[in-house]
Amino acid sequence: MIKSLRRVIYKRYKVIEVIGKGSYGCVSKAQCKETGRYVALKVMKNQTITEYELIKLLREIQLMRRLNQLFFTLQTDEDRNLPTFIPELIDILCPEPTTKPAPPQKDAKGQSSLSNVTYKNERYDLSQICLVMEYIDTDLDQLLKHKIDFTEHHLLKIVYNSLCALSFVHFSNIIHRDVKPANILLSSDCNVKVCDFGLSRSLPQVQNTFDTKQSPESFIMDSSLKNMNLNTLIIRSQVTRKLDKPKYHSQSPRMSRQSIEMAQQAKSKIWQAQVNKQTVLADVLNKDRPRRKGMKRLMSLHVGSRWYRAPEISLVEKSYDQASDLWSFGCIIYELLKYIQYDQSESQFRKEFHKIRYLFQGNSCFPLSPCNKDDEDGGKKGKKDGEKKYHVISKNDQVKVILKDLGIQTDNDLSFITSEHAIQYVRELEQSHLKYSNEHGHEPNLKERCVDMKMGLNAKN
């Protein structure tokens, strides 16, 4: 931290301890000397800030302010005391301005640095900026590293509040793109707030004149929407409206044989409706594949932590939306289930739980981050589209690990993929996994493990 920024921080706040570190910098707990309020200080560690990094920081600040403002706008008089879903951005601190001119600087890649910005004849050094935010007790990552008295009631409350927070972010037409336990803040009463919007983006707005009775096929094939990002949440809502939902009303409170048969028929109809919905959705995606394939890339590729990264991002799809955040949160739910199921001692927990905690533990992700050729765990070779350079595909590649748990994918399951090379790549990985299973025996897949965890919870509670 440069001296001028440290002087600004220590003048207003008393720094207590460092509570987190990362590639962005560090986060410290501090107390305001004037009001006594506890805050979190997020200090960026970039020595030379480029235009891209400055835009990324500005986007995070704008999104946090926009979401908090929207939350208070939507509140009614009865909801004034409800906690927000986003940490409050209290202040932004930067080094004190000077009048001395500064020589031009460049970063490690040779790009021009924007560390020194002149405004009204004063030079501001933006090489380090401090965001003063609301302090929250802990986060899910810290919770999963320590064994405490954690019940199924706590789990359900955390999952529900987290889904409410993500739903609010998605309602604001924003995709987070870095959902992981460290970015889900948790208070002592299990209230949840989503943080770290550095990788977040706003999705294109959908036209207000859209007719809700319009079929999903004609909605997507409309010529006026050729450049619009495919929003699967909108398509799913349209498919749900298009299909009739089966209804079941019990005529008697007693469970007679006839009522049991009616319940089973209703259950089968509901299941069939879900299958029909998936079929219609896959048909829409297949028809829309040529348009999506010709689209320009709207968002960057290498986002999110690898173990929480959705398949559409790992397979280098040009368009993705809020569904990728829900995939990441599904991985977090699995970790919470493993956490509540683990009943060993605290010393055993510290030794073993971090090894079995994660759902998809890939050590590389082709082609975003292929493993080295010298890697002992290297597997077959693969190449990017249009390139002659070969890369090693690890035996624990992220997509391989996902397919190992999800099993063989149908054509409907792969309808979101636009590249024929990516579909062929997935099929080859499936055959490789089948060959491995035949040689080494069957391992429990994701569905079987979740059923076992659910049975364990029922017996425990």
Write the pLDDT tens digit of every residue in 161-194. Answer: 999 999 999 988 899 999 999 999 999 888 999 9
Q: What dihedral angle (degrees, nearest 10) is formed by the CA atoms of 169, 241, 156, 361?
A: -70
With respect to residue 368, please indicate whether it lies within any of the assigned structural domains: yes
Q: Among 56-70, 183-197, 261-275, whose mean pLDDT is lowest? A: 261-275
Give me the mean pLDDT over the 239-258 stretch: 48
Whether 81 and 189 have beta carbons less than 8 Å apart is answered as no
Predicted TM-score (pTM) of the model is 0.78
| Nearest alpha carbon to residue 305 among 321, 325, 319, 320 | 325
| Nearest alpha carbon to residue 275 among 410, 402, 407, 448 | 410
> In the prediction, which pLDDT does 449 show?
60
Per-residue pLDDT tens over the stretch 131-147: 999 999 899 999 999 88
Give me the mean pLDDT over the 205-221 stretch: 48
Q: What is the CATH number of the domain that holds 24?
A: 3.30.200.20
> In the prediction, which pLDDT does 456 show?
52
**More confident of the two residues 400 and 219:** 400
Last residue of a domain, one of 78, 110, 135: 135
Whether 391 and 367 have beta carbons less than 8 Å apart is answered as yes
> In the prediction, which pLDDT does 330 show?
92
With respect to residue 75, please indicate whether it lies within any of the assigned structural domains: yes
CA distances from 369 to 14, 140, 197, 211 (A): 41, 26, 23, 42
Last residue of a domain, one of 78, 111, 135: 135
pLDDT over 80 (residue 404): yes
Whether 316 and 400 have beta carbons less than 8 Å apart is answered as no
With respect to residue 264, please indicate whether it lies within any of the assigned structural domains: no
With respect to residue 293, please indicate whether it lies within any of the assigned structural domains: no
> In the prediction, which pLDDT does 260 show?
63
When pLDDT is cut at 50, 70 and 90, the band that residue 54 belongs to is confident
Give me the mean pLDDT over the 153-158 stretch: 90
> In the prediction, which pLDDT does 251 show?
43
pLDDT over 70 (residue 368): yes
> In the prediction, which pLDDT does 346 show?
84
Task: State how far the Cα of 400 lies from the Cα of 324, in Å rounded to an integer.
Answer: 18
- Cβ neighbour number for residue 316 with a 10 Å cutoff: 19
> In the prediction, which pLDDT does 444 show?
60
Q: What dihedral angle (degrees, nearest 10) is formed by the CA atoms of 300, 304, 310, 315?
A: 40
Task: State how far the Cα of 293 lies from the Cα of 318, in Å rounded to an integer.
Answer: 8
Task: State how far the Cα of 130 lies from the Cα of 278, in Å rounded to an integer.
Answer: 46
With respect to residue 40, please indicate whether it lies within any of the assigned structural domains: yes
Pairing assessment for the beta strands 184-186 and 192-194 based on DSSP bridges: antiparallel
Q: Among 44-48, 150-154, 400-404, whose mean pLDDT is lowest? A: 44-48
When pLDDT is cut at 50, 70 and 90, the band that residue 436 belongs to is low
Counted domains in the chain: 2
Query: Domain range for residue 21?
Result: 1-135
Give me the mean pLDDT over the 44-49 stretch: 64
> In the prediction, which pLDDT does 2 show?
59
> In the prediction, which pLDDT does 277 show?
73
Whether 38 and 19 have beta carbons less than 8 Å apart is answered as no
Q: Collect all residues with Cβ–Cβ distance below 8 Å to 288 and sequence separation of at least 6.
A: 220, 221, 230
User: Which residues partner with 131 through β-bridges?
Assistant: 42, 92
Whether 56 and 201 have beta carbons less than 8 Å apart is answered as no
> In the prediction, which pLDDT does 435 show?
67
**More confident of the two residues 389 and 69:** 69
| Nearest alpha carbon to residue 196 among 59, 335, 37, 71 | 59
pLDDT over 90 (residue 108): no
With respect to residue 421, please indicate whether it lies within any of the assigned structural domains: yes
Task: State how far the Cα of 328 lies from the Cα of 259, in Å rounded to an integer.
Answer: 40
With respect to residue 266, please indicate whether it lies within any of the assigned structural domains: no
Per cent of the chain over pLDDT 90 is 19
Last residue of a domain, one of 87, 106, 135: 135
What's the number of CA atoms in the CB half-sphere (13 Å) around residue 408?
7
Give me the mean pLDDT over the 295-307 stretch: 78
With respect to residue 125, please indicate whether it lies within any of the assigned structural domains: yes
Whether 392 and 378 have beta carbons less than 8 Å apart is answered as yes
> In the prediction, which pLDDT does 388 show?
47
